[in-house]
Amino acid sequence: MRKFLKVLGLLVVVAVVIIALAWWRYLRPDPMEPPVLPGTLQTGSLEHDGRDRSWLAYIPAARTPDTALVLVMHGSMGTGEQMRALTRYDFDVLAERYGFIAVYPDGYEQHWNDCRGGADYAANLENIDDVGFLRALVRRFVDEQGVDPARIFATGLSNGGQMAYRLGLEAPDLVAGIAAMAASLPVPASLDCQPSGKPVAAMVMNGTADPVNPYEGGLVEIFGNASRGEVQSSVATANYWAGLAGYTVEGVRREWPQRDPEDDTSVRSIEWSAPGRVPVSLVTIVGGGHTVPHPVFNLPRILGPTSHQLDGPEVIWAFFSGAAPAPQ
DSSP string, 169-200: HH-TTT-SEEEEES--PBPGGGB-S-------
- In single-letter form, the type of residue at position 179 comes to A
* Model confidence band, residue 22 (pLDDT cutoffs 50, 70, 90): very low
Distance CA 162, CA 75 (A): 9
> In this predicted model, which residue has the larger pLDDT, 35 or 2?
35
Distance CA 147, CA 59 (A): 11
Distance CA 167, CA 161 (A): 10
Question: With contact defined as beta carbons under 8 Å apart, do 286 and 302 qualify?
Answer: no
Q: 27 CB contacts (<8 Å, ≥6 apart)?
A: 300, 302
* Model confidence band, residue 21 (pLDDT cutoffs 50, 70, 90): very low
Per-residue model confidence (pLDDT) at position 30: 72
- Specify whether the backbone of 276 is left (phi greater than 0), alpha (psi in -120 to 50) or beta: left
Q: Is pLDDT of 17 > 50? A: no
Give the distance from CA 112 to its chain's centroid.
Answer: 12
Per-residue model confidence (pLDDT) at position 8: 52
> Rounded to the nearest 10 degrees, what angle do helices 312-323 and 90-98 cross at?
40
Per-residue model confidence (pLDDT) at position 2: 61
- Measured in degrees and rounded to the nearest 5, phi and psi for residue 227 equal -65, -20
pLDDT per residue as tens digits for the range 164-193: 999 999 999 999 999 999 999 999 999 999
* Nearest Cα to Cα of residue 100 among 63, 154, 152, 55: 63
Q: 182 CB contacts (<8 Å, ≥6 apart)?
A: 75, 157, 158, 161, 205, 206, 207, 210, 212, 213, 289, 290, 291
Q: Is pLDDT of 24 > 50? A: no
Structure letter (DSSP) for residue 79: -
Q: What average pLDDT does range 110-127 have in this prediction? A: 97
- In single-letter form, the type of residue at position 259 comes to R
pLDDT per residue as tens digits for the range 206-260: 999 999 999 999 999 988 899 999 999 999 999 999 999 999 999 999 999 999 9
- Other beta carbons within 10 Å of 273: 16
- Measured in degrees and rounded to the nearest 5, phi and psi for residue 156 equal -175, 165
Q: What average pLDDT does range 49-77 have in this prediction? A: 96
Domains of the chain: 39-323 (3.40.50.1820)
Mean pLDDT of the chain: 92
Distance CA 96, CA 217 (A): 37
Q: Is pLDDT of 4 > 90? A: no
What share of the chain in percent tops pLDDT 70? Answer: 90
Per-residue model confidence (pLDDT) at position 33: 87
| pTM score, whole prediction | 0.91
Question: With contact defined as beta carbons under 8 Å apart, do 291 and 182 qualify?
Answer: yes
Q: Is pLDDT of 16 > 50? A: no
The DSSP element (H or E) to which 234 belongs, if any, is helix 234-244
Question: With contact defined as beta carbons under 8 Å apart, do 70 and 291 qualify?
Answer: no
In the three-class reduction of DSSP (H, G, I as helix; E, B as strand; rest coil), residue 92 is classed as helix
Per-residue model confidence (pLDDT) at position 73: 98
